[in-house]
A and B are shown apart, each in its own frame.
Chain A
Amino acid sequence: MAGNRGRGRSQFTFNVDALGFGRGDSLPTSAHTPSPLFPPMQFRPVPLHTGEEVEYMLALKQELRASSKNLPFHIKAARTKTDVARYSDKYQNGEPKNNCIEWSPDWSRMPKELCIKVRKPRKTGAKPQPARKPKVSAGKEEVLQKLETLEKSEQEQHSEEEADEEKKKQKDEEEEPDVDEDYDEEELEDETDYIMSYFDNGEDFGADSDDNMDEAVY
């Protein structure tokens, strides 16, 4: 092996022609840095398909995404209250609770261990009907409802709910009967004379988006 060094100093053990560079050519420069994260592309990508079908599927996709946020399958963990317990907690049942499920699956098709309490927005006939029937407040109900929805939306600063309510007006969602029933149940169950937004303790005010504050807070 060592003896071969003297003869033919620039002789390699493999056939250099196959590699593609001849003798005397400099080797390609070695890389000192990892390759760039977004290397410049040699060829631009082909434009996307267009057409009625494509646009329809695009609209479908965006609708599905938006509506899946409203379905009971979208699970949000309950916010842990780190503050003191407040009186208004009793009347605020809009937040999801951890120990009940918002829809009623067919428990016979699931393992028994997964069974948890179903949060029924309305109990049909299980509750004793209070003396004042809904008929009495029939006229007031729609007005109260409208007021409540407007107030709730302003105070909660969750504008997404508004947009979703708009969407609900345009496309049927199963939510609205539930919202109505929720409202009924709240009114009847707790038997207060105040609408539920009276018990808002202001915790949600200023809770979101404190960054990017270009607008002054009064």
Chain B
Amino acid sequence: MTAQEVRLCGLLLQEHFGDVVEKVGTHLIRSGVLTLRALAHETKLALDLVKKSLCVLVQHGMCTFGPGRRGPAGPVEYRINCERILHMLRYPRYIYTAKSLYGDTGELIIEEILQRGQMTMSSTVKTVADRLTHNMPEGQSMDYSEVVSAFSRLVETHFLQRCPPMASAGSSSSGAVDTSLPVVTQPAEPESNPECYKLPYINLTGQGKRRRSSEDGEDDQRAAKKAKTDNSQCGDEGIYWQVNFLRFHLHFRDQAIISAVSCKLDQTSSEIVRTMLRMSEVTTPAHAAFTQALSANEIFRSLPSNYNIARPILDQYLTLLVDDPMEFVGKTGDSGGGMYVVNLHRALANLARATLESVVQERFGSRSARIFRLLLRKRHLEQKQVEDFAMVPAKEAKDMLYTLLSENLVQLQEVPKTPDYAPSRTFYLYTVNQLPTARLLLQHCYKTIGNLIERRLYETKENKRLLEKSQRIEAILASLQATGAETAQLTEVEEMITAPERQQLESLRHHINKLDSSENQVDETIFLLESYINSTQASR
């Protein structure tokens, strides 16, 4: 774990779970694996607090536990899953994707499960139905069956998966064993469970309860109490569901490829690529380098009906896609009118390369970007050659190269002519390696988000008094309005915030929105670079 990742994880944990969990989490990240007692001792926190923090982390899947080095008889050891913590940055994107695919119901389901880590199907359905009912006009309520159907669709498309069951250690059944044995061992990978995507049968009928305001709260409270008491009779105890982040990432990757095609070529080509990806969704394993081969006939049949292009036109489009230097689509055979695949890893590599080039262009200017692109294509060049190929005057080329070198975006490779590395008899070649440069940029991105979060916390802290005052006044206003006060009173309360304070508040809100928006945007870059780096590792 790099220093920037640790810092960012700490900030995210603090934002969502508070200081205690942040302390425990960061210490565990830095130390690797620890037992409970060691952790409590080293963080100097109360044992109960450490237990609570670990419960929170395990609930959210950020911490895994297992038998320690001394085997099953020894104390349980805990390990943090840093990637999972960094996924917290992407929660809004997951929720928005669910909304665009499955509507408000899907959005709320994913939001609930993300916030709670793991949930049973019945509790999810009830909570989401209640929330939806609350937002509906008076008199209507959300039926459980609709929520159940949305849930089923999410499971069928693998966006939700069952939490893997605990491996039974059997120590509870054998009476002869002493009670100090830890009962549970860490569950295995979720995909290894054959029932990973199987929906349990639950008998859950009813509608969402509208939580009314306190005027007629009594009946509702009684009903709510009753509902809580027969909570357990739904038939799916012990079956918890979690969000399948890998599936969401595959979806984002597909979206990135499709939008790249539509930017580079045109809308129809992107529709063709979208069709190809959709057809091979279920048959392509997660880390495959390219999709299953699809024949042109199949693609033609599966195109959406509002895109009726003629067969020869489709062939032309496919040829265009194959010939494009970005190499999104490749041709692997001629049967069935031509067998085509989408080159996933190559597409990711090209997208990452485009990101790197764009970063250089925006930070150092278009001529530096030209030099950078040149070095990416031509691998190793001497300084003189760089000046010639890039058509940049010598002095400026030298300047730009040295700037890029000092930022570590370009490396120097020495090729000696003689065994002593005499400088007058050595070639000095400039080169760019895409993978290490991508890693470098990824770390920069983590650092950027850390800085953005810290700046936002600083801004909030600076204006804390003003924010509290405005919140208090809003609350007073709302309660006055609820009890039906006259406008004179309302305006009087509103005037308690002076105009310069209003301006300050406005600019504060604007800054915080900008910082939040920037975090979301940097996270998109992080996703691209991470996918590229993971794809290169998977193919090794």
Residues of A within 8 A of B469 (CB): 159
Q: Is the CB of A146 within 8 A of B96?
A: no
Q: Is the CB of A18 within 8 A of B383?
A: yes
**A12–B46 Cα gap in the complex (Å)?**
67
Interface residues of B in 7-64 (CB under 8 A from A): 15-21, 36, 45-46, 48-49, 51-56, 58-60
Contacts A43-B365, A67-B115, A75-B17 known; A60 to B215 CB distance under 8 Å?
no
Contacts A60-B92, A106-B240 known; A177 to B468 CB distance under 8 Å?
no
Nearest residue, chain B, Cβ from A168:
B211
The yes or no answer to A172 lying at the interface (CB within 8 A) is yes
Q: Is the CB of A108 within 8 A of B184?
A: yes
A151 to chain B, nearest CB (A): 12
Q: Is the CB of A209 within 8 A of B517?
A: no
The yes or no answer to A105 lying at the interface (CB within 8 A) is yes
Q: Is the CB of B52 within 8 A of A18?
A: no
Q: Is the CB of A75 within 8 A of B20?
A: yes
Q: Is the CB of A209 within 8 A of B465?
A: yes
Q: How many A-B residue pairs have CB under 8 A?
A: 201
Residues of B within 8 A of A212 (CB): 465
Contacts A109-B166, A176-B211 known; A114 to B36 CB distance under 8 Å?
yes
Q: Is the CB of A111 within 8 A of B115?
A: no
Interface stretch (choices B298-306, B420-428, B437-445): B420-428
Q: Is the CB of A172 within 8 A of B131?
A: yes
User: Contact string, A36-52, partner B, CB cutoff 8 A, digits 1/0?
Assistant: 00000011011011000
Q: Is the CB of A110 within 8 A of B184?
A: yes
User: Contact string, B442-476, partner A, CB cutoff 8 A, digits 1/0?
Assistant: 00000000000000000000001100110110110
Q: Is the CB of B514 within 8 A of A172?
A: no
Q: Is the CB of B383 within 8 A of A146?
A: no
Q: Is the CB of A73 within 8 A of B56?
A: yes
Q: Is the CB of B20 within 8 A of A105?
A: no
Chain B interface size, under 10 / 10 to 19 / 20 to 34 / 35 or more: 35 or more
A139 to chain B, nearest CB (A): 9
- The one of A61, A64, A111, A150 in contact with B76, judged by C-beta atoms closer than 8 angstroms, is A111
Contacts A106-B238, A111-B184 known; A172 to B362 CB distance under 8 Å?
no
Nearest residue, chain B, Cβ from A99:
B48
**A57–B521 Cα gap in the complex (Å)?**
10
- The one of B116, B362, B472, B518 in contact with A162, judged by C-beta atoms closer than 8 angstroms, is B472
B452 to chain A, nearest CB (A): 12
User: Contact string, B114-136, partner A, CB cutoff 8 A, digits 1/0?
Assistant: 01110000000001001100110
Residues of A within 8 A of B394 (CB): 20
Nearest residue, chain A, Cβ from B394:
A20
**A181–B48 Cα gap in the complex (Å)?**
25
User: Contact string, A16-37, partner B, CB cutoff 8 A, digits 1/0?
Assistant: 0010100000000000000000
Nearest residue, chain B, Cβ from A41:
B363
User: Contact string, A121-149, partner B, CB cutoff 8 A, digits 1/0?
Assistant: 01011000000001000100110011000
Mark A residues whose CB is within 8 Å of B.
13-15, 18, 20, 42-43, 45-46, 48-49, 53-54, 56-58, 60-62, 64-65, 67-68, 71, 73-77, 98-99, 101, 105-106, 108-116, 122, 124-125, 134, 138, 141-142, 145-146, 150, 153, 159-160, 162-163, 165-166, 169, 171-172, 174, 176-177, 180-181, 209, 212
**New A-B contacts (6) at CB < 8 Å, excluding given A60-B95, A75-B53, A172-B211:** A53-B96, A75-B21, A77-B19, A101-B51, A110-B55, A160-B471
| Sample (21) of A-B pairs whose CB atoms are under 8 Å apart | A14-B423, A20-B394, A48-B517, A48-B518, A49-B521, A65-B15, A73-B21, A75-B20, A77-B20, A99-B48, A101-B55, A109-B58, A111-B183, A112-B183, A116-B55, A159-B471, A159-B475, A160-B468, A163-B471, A172-B130, A180-B217
7 A-B pairs with the lowest CB-CB distances in the bound complex, closest first: A14-B423, A162-B475, A20-B398, A60-B92, A159-B472, A172-B131, A57-B92
